[in-house]
Amino acid sequence: MATQTRSMLLNVGPSHPAMHGVIRLVMELEGEKIKGVEVEMGYLHRAFEKMCETVMYNQCFPYTDRLNYVSPLINNVGFAMTVEKLLDVQVPERAQYIRVIMSEISRVTDHLTCIGATAMELGAMSAFLYMIKAREYLYELVEEITGARLTISYVRIGGVKADLTEGFADRAFAKIAEVRKVLIEADELLTRNRIFFDRMKGIGVISKEDAISYGITGPFLRSTGVALDLRKANPYLIYDRLDFEVPVGTTGDNLDRYFVRMAEAEQSLRMIEQCLEQIPDGPVVGQLTGEVMKAADMVDHAKMGETQGLEGFQVDLDPTLQGGTKKYQAGIKVNRRDVVLPAKEETYGNIEGLMNHFKLTMYGHGIRPPMGEAYGTVEGANGELGFYIVSDGRDNPWRVRVHPPCFPIMAALPQCLIGGSMADLVPTFGSVNMIAGELDR
């Protein structure tokens, strides 16, 4: 009698301990071999694009925080740069440096999370804890500047919300040194680790041609040997002034992606150091000189009509909002009344400033880019993060489209998995670095 073989269907996800993020893979198995994979996504769809159409431009930032929630600052920067392209606005040099510093910090946190989670899923719990420790150092820096750790909403159209704090550079150098130590530790724990090595080497391979045809960018593409990095290919902000390398792999397997990410984390740390050395001087945050008034007091005076002599005063404001006062405004925000809120001294102290403020915050007024369209890109932690924005000349965008970098990678995932064994799913899926927030939007 002839034997019959049947394949087995196995659902992985949408909520599964080895899937960091909600996604469902319907696997067709023949013994341990994967015969077919169907990717089912959309479990974290929150209608980002639709919601952006209903709010004003600056109100989109909280939504962008939640795209790639491991490196939200890069999303902020990408969105702001696209709207600035529509408005034809150049942000001040200091703000550009701050944006690069924050983006690169985010890139390191993203890579640390990705490598750490992959290692953890392969059983290397201590490597994961070390890397999360390093991520914590960087989150402390982010928290110091933005006032939040994840939902930072830090970038504004035309600049950034707040200036760097006093002594930030010294603390950043110290934290970078700590992160470097962790990277070395992780390298020692993982790279020569037989178990880790064997489960990564030659697994989840994708060819250069396939990666390009699928539209893949970022570390996933660079692991195949293509040195495409938007920071080099099409330098934006001040990346052309920085000295850094684009690490590439050769075979496009999981191990190469691990090496590329490790090397990139180091390059990003180098970039932060260079930025901190090059950044033009701004006012040092901290002690205010001259006549100072509490923001609430100034508002009270202004409400009573006692605006005489108020222009001489400086406003004392919460540290995370200090970019809003006269002292910092020039360094970190572009001088355009139709784009940037006036300094708080202006808003509280005279009617023109108050009107200016309302003109930018009332529905139907706000920032109104001229009718047109623009596609802006930044190099996200996963690859090209693109925003395509259509403006109809009104204060809310007509269309906001996000090109999420892990979307094409997920489309290519079945190709990486088919033919391999079921256990290979875990390291391959880890090295894809799927972020459901940006995949499903």
Partner 1 sequence: MTPLELVSQQFAAEIIETHSYRGDQTAVIRPGALLAVAKYLKNTPELAFDYLMDLTAVDYLFYAGGRVQKEYRFEVVYHFYSLSKNHRIRLKVPLDEKNPEIDSLNDLWKSANWYEREVWDMYGIKFKGHPNLKRILMYEEFQGHALRKDYPFNKRQPLIGPQN
Q: Binding partner 1 by CB under 8 A: which of 9, 30, 32, 42?
A: 42
Residues of span 406-425 touching partner 1 by CB under 8 A: 407-408, 410-412
Compute the least distance from the CB of residue 86 to partner 1, in Å: 7
Which of 28, 136, 185, 210 contacts partner 1 by CB under 8 A? Answer: 210
CB of 397 or CB of 420, closer to partner 1? 397
Type of residue at 340: V
HSE of 30 in the Cβ direction (CA atoms, 13 Å)? 8
Burial class (CB in 10 A: 0-12, 13-18, 19+), 417: buried
By CB under 8 A, the count of residues binding partner 1 is 44
Q: Answer for the pair 440, 21: CB distance below 8 angstroms, yes or no.
A: no
240 binds partner 1 (CB under 8 A): no
- Tell me whether residue 137 or residue 387 sits nearer to partner 1 (CB atom): 387
Residue nearer to partner 1 on the CB measure, 47 or 195: 47
Tokens of 316: 């004392």
Per CB under 8 A, does 50 bind partner 1?
A: yes
How does 142-165 read in b/e, with b if 16+ C-beta sit within 10 Å?
bebbbbeeeebbbbbbbbbbbbbb
Query: Which tokens hold the place of 92?
Result: 């001040």
CB-wise, 299 or 390, nearer to partner 1?
Answer: 390
Cβ atoms 307, 293 nearer than 8 A: no
Q: Is 393 a residue that touches partner 1 (CB under 8 A)? A: yes
How many CA atoms within 13 Å lie on the side-chain side of 188? 6
Nearest residue (CB) to partner 1, 33 versus 399: 399
Q: Is 307 in the site for partner 1 (CB under 8 A)?
A: no
User: Cα(178)–Cα(140) distance, rounded to whole angstroms?
Assistant: 13
User: At its nearest, how many Å lie between partner 1 and the CB of residue 414?
Assistant: 11
Phi-psi region of 301 (alpha: psi -120 to 50; beta: other; left: phi over 0): alpha
- Please give the Cα distance from 360 to 371 (Å, whole number): 18
**String of contacts with partner 1 for each residue 352-371, x by CB under 8 A:** -------------------x
Give the Cα separation of 439 and 206 in Å (integer): 20
Question: Which member of 70, 80, 85, 437 binds partner 1 (CB under 8 A)?
Answer: 85
244 binds partner 1 (CB under 8 A): no
Residue numbers at the binding site for partner 1 (CB under 8 A): 41-42, 45, 47, 49-51, 53-54, 85-86, 88, 210, 212-215, 226, 228, 233-234, 371-375, 384, 386, 388, 390, 392-394, 398-399, 401, 403, 407-408, 410-412, 440-441
